[in-house]
Amino acid sequence: MEIRRNQERNIAVEVKDLKYTYSKGLPYEKEALVSVNLLVFEGEAIGVLGHTGSGKSTLIQHLNGILMPDSGEVKIFGEKINNDKKFLKNLRKIVGIVFQFPEDELFAETVYEDVSFGPKNLGLTKEEIDERVLTSLIEVGLNESYLTRSPFSLSGGEKRRVAIASILSMRPKILVLDEPTSGLDPLGREEILKLIKRLKNDKKVTIILVSHSMEDVLSLVDRVYILNKGKVVFGGDTVSIFKDKDSIEKFDLSIPEIFILGEELKKEGFNIEEPFRDVEIAKKEIIRNLK
């Protein structure tokens, strides 16, 4: 695919004046996206926030052609999404979407079968498929011993990781995750956050995170877009938004406690070099100050 450059960074996703109405022309038609504009650079992690019904899910379904714009455009690595079958097949290799509660979609008798389903449709050899399955499992923190297990015998967190592995086995360059930690226990949540960070930092996967969890957003993404009634009402740097009282109130966000701790310590005269985006950073900064 042709790659456009902007200030030395490739543009992974470009959405321009995107409009979408459900059941158009019918008495109960619903305008879900009024006008959405956004830009995501390759290798970046962005967050999409907004109340239920603001259009997040409708937006992400446009990123791999599940929905087609009524008007406006969606470009992935410079190419405008269209209805062509071959184009869509290729697009779905590039953009992987992990929907909410993806473990509900697991269907096969073994983990191997579930994770190999995508690659099997790509015309790869058995060796290539096996290699992808195993690599994807390792990426999500599982191992070979899971291959023959039934997905239904696994814990909630493990099931979710298998579901994510089945998307990663397509080797997407852009990974969209809709509420990836919701419903998990703290340990399961931690595993998923670590996994997303690894994909971003080590594999350079572009991440689009839809989340209600301000903790997840603060810990994972560089920039956020806030949607309201089908429009982007804010786009900006993650740390700045949590520092800005007006934005917090206006967009009805909550500030993660770990972030508040960092700001309080700074006021107390601690030399805090990095905003507290997660416990690891907080630990590092506090230990440095105590030395």
Query: Between 11 and 36, whose beta carbon lies closer to ligand ADP?
Result: 36
Using the rule CB under 6 A, is 284 a contact of ligand ADP? no
Residue with CB nearest ligand ADP?
Answer: 57
Number of C-beta neighbours around residue 56 at 10 A:
22
Q: Which of 45, 41, 36, 33 is nearest to 78 (CA)?
A: 41
The Cα 153–Cα 52 span in angstroms is 32
Phi and psi angles of residue 90, each rounded to the nearest 5 degrees, phi first: -65, -40
Helix, strand, coil percent values for the chain (each to nearest 5)? 40, 25, 35
Query: Between 62 and 132, whose beta carbon lies closer to ligand ADP?
Result: 62
Query: Between 6 and 100, whose beta carbon lies closer to ligand ADP?
Result: 100
Using the rule CB under 6 A, is 21 a contact of ligand ADP? no
Of 6, 22, 24, 105, which lies in the binding site for ligand ADP, with binding defined by CB under 6 A?
Answer: 22
* Beta bridge partner(s), residue 32: none
Binders of ligand ADP among 29-68, rule CB under 6 A?
30, 32, 50, 52-58
Query: Between 22 and 288, whose beta carbon lies closer to ligand ADP?
Result: 22
The Cα 266–Cα 271 span in angstroms is 6
Least Å distance between CB 147 and ligand ADP? 34
Please report, as ranges, the residues that interact with ligand ADP according to CB under 6 A. 22-23, 30, 32, 50, 52-58
